[in-house]
Amino acid sequence: MDLRLDHRYGDASAAGEELGSRSQARDPLRRYGPARILWASCMTLPISRMTASARILPRLIPRQGFAAALLVALATVLAGCGESPRQQAAPAPPKVTVAKPAQRTIVDQDEYVGRFVAVDVVEVRARVSGYLDKVHFTDGQIVKQGDLLFTIDKRPFQNTLDQARANLEVAKSNVAFTQSDLARGQQLLRDRTISEQIYEQRAQQFRNAQAAVNANQALVRQAELDLEFTELRAPVTGRIGDRRVTPGNLVTGGTGGATSMLATIVSIDPIRLEFTFDEASLLRYQRLSSGGKSDATGLGNTAVRLKLLDETDFSHYGRMDFVDNVIDRATGTIRGRAQFGNADGLFTPGMFARVQVPGSAPYQALMLPDAAIATEQARKLVYVVDQDNIARQRYVTLGPLVDDLRVIRDGVSANDRVVVNGLMRVRQGQKVTPEEEGTASPQSFFTAAETTDKTD
């Protein structure tokens, strides 16, 4: 390889000439000009990128000419730096799953929080005073109407009854005597043996005896009631609470406010749910009812659905049976009530639940899965794929969630192809590869998601 350098550096004058130019030797950047910029960038290249001549050049050139040879090698490396990288292929359009919105006839549901109340609530109190003798139930059990609950000591009341019955017999005997005496007086009066005054006295005694019989009969009936009241029976069917008085204690009875409460009973089947709704909802229900558009009035016999706090679906069905006649001035709400069957005893008075009341006439709605809806600050949007497979943003207005599908009130049409899977891969105006899924549904969405995950 002839680099045409030996003849120069072999000459002493040439060497002296180079040694004489000390300013250039001290400042190689000024000597070689703009090459200093490419020098810094090419130093980052690995030795494998250098050409073969640049690697073997120091072995072929004598030491005294090494500086010039190095310049030639660097020029070769700089030539390699100028090579352009290979052009990468453009990525393929992302695959997404598209589906048309589902169409369904629905009724908007207004949701409220309510509390269960029993249809019948009874406080068991004694009607007569006495010492509690026995308790005939277990705390918390279900009792039927007429079941014996408590027994008060009967002996004093039995004695009173016996005495009243004896007095009644005396009164009846007195009636019999005065009646026969009055009959004799009538004959004597006809014979002019007695005066009319004496006859009137005998008649008065007969009437007094009859009144005494009636009075003693009333005393007997009252004594029988008091004796009957010593046995306290369940007035309604339901669940009884715990006993408030144990046997041996004195029970205060009567009709006053100081009577002893022995237990409470609440009915469980059926049961009611009470809730409140605002004035605007009441007006909407009334207008729907007066217009005859539907039975979704919230009043009267309207069907409602209910779910408990640990349930996900409104799977219990009942009917409205009452709406109050006055709006509460303090809260601006009105009280409503629905009745539900509770044969299994699942609902307990005082328990909270959520209830859905029909709030609109039936209408045709477009529905999409929630996963197909994106959020942009305060607005909601979906991606619709056009005929050229270009994704376009559509801002939508959302409605309620019905059977895992979200109602879309505005923003899409029934024939739009909406991206239901692969939403994170899509951008506005981006070309995509759509895979048709038919009509949007939760089942089809999850199936498409699993298939996409496997292919990815």
Do 215 and 163 contact (CB within 8 A), yes or no?
A: no
Based on the fold, state whether residues 280 and 327 are members of the same structural domain: yes
pLDDT over 50 (residue 53): no
Q: Is residue 418 domain-resident?
A: yes
Task: Mark which of 293, 327, 358 sits at the end of a domain.
Answer: 358
Please say whether the beta carbons of 407 and 373 come within 8 A.
no
Give tens-digit pLDDT for 236-267.
999 999 999 999 999 998 877 788 899 999 99
Q: What is the pLDDT of residue 107?
A: 86
Instruction: Assess if residue 288 is contained within a domain.
Output: yes
pTM: 0.61
pLDDT digits (tens, 9 = 90+) for 283-305: 888 888 775 554 545 555 788 99
| Residue 112 included in any domain | no
The bridge status of strand 95-100 relative to strand 433-439 is parallel
Question: How confident is the model over 388-403, as a mean pLDDT?
Answer: 88
Tally the domains of the chain.
Answer: 4
**Structural domain boundaries, residue 382:** 96-104+363-455
Q: Which residues contact 207 (CB under 8 A, 6 or more apart)?
A: none
First to last CA, the chain: 56
**256 plus 327 within the same structural domain:** no
Judge whether 146 lies within some domain: yes
Which pLDDT belongs to residue 453? Answer: 44
Indicate whether 181 pLDDT > 60.
yes
In a domain, 206, yes or no: yes
Q: Is residue 18 predicted with pLDDT exceeding 60?
A: no
- Segment 191-217 mean pLDDT: 84
User: 3-state SS of the chain: helix, strand, coil percent to 5?
Assistant: 35, 30, 35
* CATH code where residue 217 lies: 2.40.50.100
Q: Which residues contact 404 (CB under 8 A, 6 or more apart)?
A: 369, 370, 442
Phi then psi for 230, rounded to 5 degrees? -70, -15
With the C-alpha atoms ordered 314, 318, 324, 325, is the resulting torsion angle positive or negative?
positive
Could you tell me if 164 and 191 lie in one domain? Answer: yes
Long-range contacts of range 285-292, CB-CB < 8 Å, 24 or more positions apart? 285/357, 285/359, 288/360, 288/361
* Residue 115 belongs to a domain: no
Least confident of 184-188, 213-217, 265-269, 409-413: 184-188
Q: Are residues 70 and 192 in the same domain?
A: no
Residues 73 and 132 in one domain: no
**Strand 102-106 relative to strand 363-368, pairing:** antiparallel
* CA distance linking residue 288 with residue 297, whole number of Å: 6
